[in-house]
Structure 1
Amino acid sequence: MNSKLTDRFATVMLTTALYIVAFMYLFPILWLLLSSLKPGSELFSYPLTIFPENPTVEGFEYSWATMEFIKYFVNTLIVAVGTTVLTIIASATCGFALAKYSYKWLNVFLICMLATTMLPTEVIMTPTFQVILDLGLYDSLAGLIIPSINTATGIFMFRQYFMTVPNDLLESARIDGASEGKIFFQLMLPIAKPVVITLAIFSFQWRWNDYIWPLIVLSDPNKYTVQIALRSIIGADNIDWVLLLSSSIISLVPMIIIFIVFQRYIMDTSATSGLKG
């Protein structure tokens, strides 16, 4: 009986802690959303209130009419989608090699690759920028895409997943005359669908929210991504808070849609190995 009470108490405490943490994460977003529905006169009224007294969507209409969102969305989509596709291909091929090929130098490569995760972004930013300059990719969307293709996180995810695939499956395919390319694209990549979807969501989110690198590489306002466009709202002397708040909410809409549509794939690990019993 005491054991049941202890288990129930632990469950209640853990659930309570989970709700508290979730609220801490959601509260800033909720505050941002509710503030975007306030007219300018209410934003800095005293005392501050969470809920708007006179909710309005005029801020969103003003933001859409003022900001060239279509242009910024297109630029950001080109970068996010292009980088995501190339990241998945590069990470999957590298992860496949690390998981299924037995060469000693691959282990050294894996260690060196994982070591890069301990380096702050600022450390590699200067040499990366110099490479972009030498390649003539400064102030171009390609200059945003190419340096972001390789990610140690994606390679490690695919490696760990491919290691769970039985080697007998690959040997059977080789005996049937399948080439390494065919094995990868028609067998291994479809099996790794959960990892593909998960990395795609993460990569898309990283590139959509990327700020520092586009700020350094881009100088032409016509090539601005969404985050840099939002930064341009902040002036040296004043800030149009109504425009900034409503624009920030609009910039989140594509990410929210992407997550809602594909979130069920993140925990989908029901891929079958294809072996007969």
Structure 2
Amino acid sequence: MSATISALPASPAKKRAQRRRIVGSGFWYIAVILVSISTVLPLVWTLSTSFKTESEALSGALNLLPRNPTVDNYAALFADGTFARYLVNSFILAIGGTITNVFFGSLAGYALAKLRFPGQGSVFATFLASMMVPAIVTMIPTFLVLRYLPLVGGNDLFGQGGVGMINSYAAVLVPFAAGAFAVFFMKQFFESLPDEIGDAARIDGASEFRIFLSIYFPLSTAGAAVLAVLTFQAGWNSFLWPLIALNNPDMYTVQVGLSAFINEYQTDYGPLMAGTIVSSLPALLVFIVAQKYIVQNFTGSAVK
């Protein structure tokens, strides 16, 4: 009897539903393929152009693979040491910005999540409100404040003889030392940790900073790692603010330095593409190294 029932043909409604599922799946597969191609193709084209000769890069030919591969563009990129200096500047600013943003953002997030003080809600609301203001709106006021703010230690220590903090590493690091997003992100993470741990440490006589540094901050490794990756990528890829705050070529970052290959009369596509590939590697490596912490953060959030 069961064999007879299984041998019966499917009803027209089931056939139509099956066809709709097949068509729908096919549509999504095609959409995913097209989006993947549109995302990957520019990256492949950039990598290919970095190995092309100048004449081939300017020929306008649509060949994806270079006819005569060459590493001359990479050699020209590092020939005079200027681009290497840009890399050093970018590493100093990206790493320094990551350390300050993660530490001070975590410190402020801990205070807003675990401490009770007058005006706590207003302070947090101010941080949230600042996230709604476009960064370009605050650039001019920030520039004027840094211009008249004296640099401790003198410009010879952190910069190249600018006015106030302008044209120094501090001009890029100080305004973003504790970003509103970092405070909000870490506050939400600290709120997920039990208060009883801190209460037990206070009974034992630990100070608030000791509780933060020795107990809560180590427990927030996953969240801090995600914030560090996001901060490093944002700092490494930053262009507009370093262009405004750093006016000495010796202080330029990679992203600002790449614009030197584009001038009024021509564009050096080969070195420009080679520099783009080189400048993409650090952010990619940081993401690969920290991806387990990112997965751990999202997994832990899902379980909670």
* Fold-level similarity (TM above 0.5): yes
TM normalised by structure 2 equals 0.81
Task: Classify the secondary structure of the residue corresponding to 2:119.
Answer: helix
State whether structure 2 residue 256 is matched by structure 1 residue 228.
yes
C-alpha deviations, 1:107-129, integer Å up to 9, x for none? 11111111111111121001000
Residue 245 of structure 1, CA deviation:
1.4
Query: Does 2:238 match 1:210?
Result: yes
| Equivalent position SS for 1:65 | coil
Once structures 1 and 2 are overlaid, which stretch shifts more, 97-106 or 81-90? Answer: 97-106
Aligned partner of 2:42 in structure 1 is 28
Query: How high is the TM-score relative to the length of structure 1?
Result: 0.88
Q: CA RMSD in A?
A: 2.5
Gaps of at least 5 residues in structure 2 are: 1-14, 150-163
Paired with 2:46 and 2:32, the residues of 1 have a C-alpha distance of 22
Mark the runs of 5 or more structure 1 residues left unpaired by the alignment: 273-277
Query: Do the aligned partners of residues 161 and 12 (structure 1) sit closer, same or farther apart at CA in structure 2, a change above 3 Å counting?
Result: farther
Distance 1:21 1:110 in 2: 39
From 68, 75, 96, give the equivalent of 2:110.
Answer: 96
Whether the aligned pair in 1 keeps the contact of 2:147 and 2:165 (CA below 8 Å) is: yes
Q: 1:82 is matched by which residue type in structure 2? A: G
Segment drifting more, 181-190 vs 240-249:
240-249
The one-letter code of the counterpart of 2:181 is T
In structure 2, C-alpha distance between the alignment counterparts of 1:166 and 1:178, rounded to whole Å: 17
Instruction: Look up the equivalent residue of 1:185 and give its one-letter code.
Output: L
Change (3 A) 1:194 1:12: farther
Q: Deviations over 1:121-166 (max 9, x none)?
A: 1210010000110011111111111112121111111111111111
For the residue of structure 1 that corresponds to 2:297, the secondary structure is coil
Partners of 2:227 and 2:82 lie apart in 1 by 29
Structure number with bigger Rg: 2
In the alignment, structure 1 residue 238 sits paired with structure 2 residue 252: no
| Paired residue secondary structure (1:268) | helix
Residue 121 of structure 1 pairs with residue 149 of structure 2: no
Residue 257 (1) aligns with residue 281 (2):
no
Deviation at 1:207, TM superposition (A): 1.1
Paired residue for 2:90? Answer: 76
The number of aligned residues is 272
Question: What secondary structure sits across from 1:203 in the alignment?
Answer: helix
Q: Which residue of 2 aligns with 1:48?
A: 62
Residues 209/46 of structure 1: CA separation in 2 closer, same or farther (3 Å cut): closer
Percent of pairs identical after alignment?
A: 33
Corresponding residue SS for 1:171: helix
Deviation readout 1:60-115 (Å, 9 max, x if unpaired) = 12222145232111111111111111111111011111111234511111111111
Per the alignment, residue 153 of structure 2 pairs with none
CA-CA distance at 1:185 after TM superposition: 0.4
Structure 1 pair 172–12 and aligned structure 2 pair: CA distance change class (3 A): farther
SS state at 1:52 partner: coil
Match of 1:154 among 170, 182, 185: 182
3-state secondary structure, aligned to 1:232: helix
